[in-house]
Structure formats: C-alpha cells, structure tokens
Amino acid sequence: MVLSGDDSTYFAKTGDVFKPFNAKDFLTQEDVISTNLRGKYVFIDFWGTWCKGCVEQLPALRNVYKKVNTERIEFVGIASLDDPKRLRRFLGKMPLEWPQILSDSLNDMVVANNITSFPSNFLIGPDGKILHRDISSSELEKVLASIGCMKQL
C-alpha cells in the first residue's frame, strides 16, 4: 500500500490491505464498517447508474451473489459520482441484495481509494488484503468456488 500525507497517491493493488472505511448503507442507513467484515471475504464494486458498463454487469453480479455463501463472503456496492434521487430510482427498478454505499462528500470513497475508472472492483481476503482487482463476474464465480464461498448444493 502506498500512502503519503496526500491520499490521492494511494492506489490499491493486489497484496495491499484495502483502505478501511466506515459508511452507511444507502437504503437502510445501517453501518457498513470494513473492520466488521474481517474474517470474511469481501467483494467491493465501485459503480454508477450513469456508467453503461457498470449497469450491464449488475445482472451477472446478482447471479453470482445468489450462489454465494453469505457466511463466508460479503458484497458491498459503492455507488459513485451519483445523485441520491437517481440512485434511489435505479435501486427501486433493479434492487441489489447487498449493501450499497453512496460515495459522496461525507465518505468520498472514490477519492479515498483513487478510483479512476468504472466499474472497478476488489476481492478482499479475510485478512483485509486485496486478492484480485477488476475481476469479471465469470472469473469471480470461479475464484469464489475455488475458495469455498459458494453454497453447497
């Protein structure tokens, strides 16, 4: 992890510890705190309603999510560069089953994590270290199966 006094130089890469966060779920207002997720795998997806590629990948991510064992892995969405009204309308039409955090001026997770392209995602290990960055949903499903995060049939 590269950190200096100016967080804009931070760029998370495989092997780094993902930057801790404390935010609220956009719809429920429940706390989503990274340290509470330790001990589980975590998939974090930076996306936006305005991003065609982001929206196009959501059905595949929902399909993967339906197959995971949520006792072993958590999904967290970071809605980025979005308007609260637009995000609320979008989630009304396409509900996502995992917590969604609106990256805004209170918790600017896009800036804090130096996210410069969308969608961007991270698969984080139980120890908080980044295992994969920008993994496709099909590859994500394979990796999750290999580490025992899928439901047993």
Per-residue pLDDT, averaged over 26-30, amounts to: 95
Q: Identify the weakest region by mean pLDDT among 8-17, 20-29, 103-112, 135-144.
A: 8-17
What is the full DSSP assignment across 60-89? HHHHHHHHB-TTTEEEEEEE-S--HHHHHH
pLDDT at 146 over 90: yes
Q: Give the domain ranges of the chain.
A: 7-146
CATH classification for the domain delimited by 7-146, as one of 3.30.479.30, 3.40.50.620, 3.40.50.300, 3.40.30.10: 3.40.30.10
Per-residue pLDDT, averaged over 8-24, amounts to: 80
Pairing of strands 31-33, 22-24: antiparallel
What distance lies between CA 82 and its chain's CA centroid? 15
Q: Please, which pLDDT band fits residue 11 given cuts at 50, 70 and 90?
A: low
pTM: 0.90
Backbone angles phi, psi at 67, to 5 degrees: -100, -10
Cis amide leading into 119 (omega within 30): yes
What integer pLDDT is reported at residue 10 of this predicted model? 56
